[in-house]
Structure 1
């Protein structure tokens, strides 16, 4: 029989698919406010990663995706001068930034792991 001392911390994680869905959909706040697609999911991830089962994995994927979008947008700026490819890049990034949070929110509601395309691995 194993005894647990009073000083040991016991962490019990709960399954909360609704919060995972909200975290994915929080990336769409930019459509309303013009900013916050990185900040809001980052706050949700940092405050809930030790409390909600799979929040750490989902949060890392979201933050990596948002940071990747920022890098790709910065790369599109000089490409505007190169036959307007940057404008096409901005349009594609805009579509991807709306579609994949919705797809991954649906996956999170089913308990599946999220996948974001072209996501660089900043946080592992």
Structure 2
């Protein structure tokens, strides 16, 4: 049986990325592994064994091209309004909270925010489907 263990994102500004994921989204620093050409930074959420792996390529000075294949990473929270407010107070710019209910059928309440490298993060309110 397979188990998802991490997602890797290449980041240009190590400190800006750490500030965002730790302060705005509450990830915990688990491990940093430095190599001659790159650094791997492992962050963990509080609700699972899943890790976010940030890769910092030494000497890179250009922003990364996210391309048109990447969608988003989704995170779930108990209190969408409180987290939205907290993230805003930290100086980040989350999109407005939306309710997704196509054809009158409730699916989710959520908002999006971009990390310092432009990766989309979806924050979803915990519900029957999203735990």
Shorter-chain TM-score bucket reads under 0.3
Relative to the length of structure 2, the TM-score reads 0.22
Greater percentage in strand: 2
Name the larger-Rg structure. Answer: 1
Which one scores higher on RCO, CA 8 angstroms, separation ≥ 6? Answer: 1
